[in-house]
Amino acid sequence: MENQIKLFLVDDHEMVRRGLSSYLMTDPSFEIIGEASSGNEAVQKLKGLDPDVVLMDLIMENGNGIEATKEVVKILPDCKIIILTSFYDDEQVFPAIEAGAFSYVLKTASADEISETIKKAYAGESVIESKVAQKMMNRFRTKESLPHHELTKRELEVLSLIGEGKTNQEIGDTLFIGIKTVKTHVSNILSKLAVSDRTQAAIYANRHNLSS
């Protein structure tokens, strides 16, 4: 059959490889061109092959899936690597994606879902398991957080008044707090915003529309 998707399977459990192979070979769209039981074995075998898609397990002896993914991306940059694993903790998810994995699905996925994931990868469309996608979004939001998000409600009030050009005494009078308390808040604000003086803090406040 023309334009078959050439697959390579990597898993340290023979029964998993057999199961995948048996099911995928029922679809004429696929051609399985090889398999390996470890990351190191996969890298060695793949040097002489040209698969379109690699199904890669993560936790294996003699070379885990993350390290193998890094190496395969180097030698086969056009190959799409689909992580197929039972794990979705942070220690596995982010290193795998950073290593170059194209898709990330769990072994709880149905055979049809795995088949569809392969076809989508071949077409250039990533598939990320929902639990993994949520973790990625959470990390993205954390990275996108701004310094003033770390300020307390009172510190934001003080920063707003700094942005208006008020002195410590004026801030204390406005918020009904002592001058020492104001100075403590200002010190905390400068530290959290990573600025050196109140002028920079005022500029920050106005740039982010934090002043009244």
**Shared domain check, 46 and 94:** yes
Query: What pLDDT was estimated at residue 134?
Result: 81
The domain spanning residue 52 has which CATH number?
3.40.50.2300
Give the integer Cα–Cα distance in Å for 135 and 127: 14
Query: What pLDDT was estimated at residue 130?
Result: 83
Convert the pLDDT of each residue in 38-75 to its tens digit: 999 999 999 989 999 999 999 998 989 999 999 999 99
Q: What is the pTM of this model?
A: 0.65
Query: Which tokens go with 158?
Result: 């003080």
Tokens 């936790």: give the residue.
59
Percent of all residues in the chain with a pLDDT value above 90, rounded to a whole number:
72
Q: Checking phi first, is residue 114 left (phi over 0); if not, alpha (psi -120 to 50) or beta?
A: alpha
Please indicate, yes or no, if residue 212 is contained in any of the structural domains: no
Query: What pLDDT was estimated at residue 135?
Result: 76
Give the integer Cα–Cα distance in Å for 176 and 145: 30
**Shared domain check, 70 and 16:** yes
**Shared domain check, 125 and 33:** yes
**Shared domain check, 132 and 37:** yes
* Domain that residue 201 falls in: 147-207
Convert the pLDDT of each residue in 121-136 to its tens digit: 999 999 998 888 887 7
**Shared domain check, 93 and 15:** yes
H-helix or E-strand spanning residue 77: none
**Shared domain check, 137 and 151:** no
Query: What pLDDT was estimated at residue 188?
Result: 92
Domain count for the chain, please give it: 2
The closest of 175, 46, 133, 94 to 55, measured between CA atoms, is: 46
Q: Are 171 and 129 in contact (CB under 8 A)?
A: no
Give the integer Cα–Cα distance in Å for 35 and 9: 4
- Strand pairing partners for 81? 54
